[in-house]
Amino acid sequence: QIKRLPVGDGIWIARHRRSHTEYVLDFIVERKSVTDLVSSIRDSRYKDQKLRLKKCGLRKLIYLVEGDPNPLGASESIKTACFTTEILEGFDVQRTTGYSDTESTYGHLTLSIIDYYSTNFSIGANTCRVCLTYDEFVKKCCDPKKLTVSDIFALQLMQVPQVTEETAIAVIELYPTLVSLARAYSMLDGDTPAQEKMLNMKSKMVNAGASRNIFKLVWGEG
């Protein structure tokens, strides 16, 4: 079935046989052709999309990259994006050769998801988890209240050179707002080298270049 999803390109739904209520299973896929992935990397859309996927309430995030990146000039960027998306951010990255292979992959995923729920959540299983209804899922993704000041700050940070999603998350865990970060810089009393290194010293997820670039963003220097 085709639905207009608030986030992602595909989800799996279980429909109650009597009430016909639709429940969203814990899997969501974002599908990108290699050319679309290149475009989204260049305009930073893919960072925003992955942040929204992480906040959608579903636990198994699948990032499907369709096509061969090698003929493209940006093949290294695609390979790096796939690596960081899987290793650093916890997505399950799937690679397919083209549309027909993608369709086949969807079929295998569907069978695996059915088997997963039959094994772990059937009658008699010792585990349980309440799934969102489809309406709850849409509301969670579209509710403007879900975008907090910290979320906006994280999106701003991800526009800074050398700042990845993991870096931005590490920063907002220390300093949830721009004001709190600026206050921390001011406590160093004008010691520019110490200010540039501050985030790098506080978190191993922030490399020296990102730490320096974030300081320049906040202090407005250069």
Give the tens place of pLDDT for each residue, 155-207.
788 888 888 877 888 899 999 998 999 999 999 988 999 999 999 999 988 99
Q: What is the mean pLDDT of residues 114-135?
A: 79
pLDDT at position 207 is 93
> Any idea where the domains of the chain sit in the sequence?
10-142, 149-219
CATH class, domain 149-219, is mainly alpha
Q: Does residue 137 register a pLDDT over 60?
A: yes
Among 18-32, 99-113, 146-160, name the one with the lowest average pLDDT.
146-160
pLDDT band at 122 (very low <50, low <70, confident <90, very high): low
Q: How far lies 79's CA from each of 43, 128, 148, 191, in Å?
A: 17, 37, 31, 39
pLDDT on residue 169: 85
For the domain made up of 10-142, give the CATH fold. Rossmann fold (3.40.50)
Choose between 141 and 175: higher pLDDT: 175
149-157 and 208-219 are packed helices; what angle lies between their axes, rounded to 10 degrees?
A: 120
pLDDT in tens, 43-99: 777 878 888 888 888 999 999 999 998 888 788 888 888 888 888 788 999 999 999
Helix 165-174 / helix 192-202 crossing angle, nearest 10 deg: 100
Q: Indicate the average pLDDT of the chain.
A: 87
> In the block, which residue shows the tokens 């094994």?
119
Beta strands in 92-217 (DSSP E): 92-96, 132-133
The secondary structure element, H or E, covering residue 45 is: helix 45-54
Q: What Rg do the C-alpha atoms of the chain give, in angstroms?
A: 21
Asked if residue 91 lies in contact with residue 56, where contact means CB atoms within 8 angstroms, the answer is no
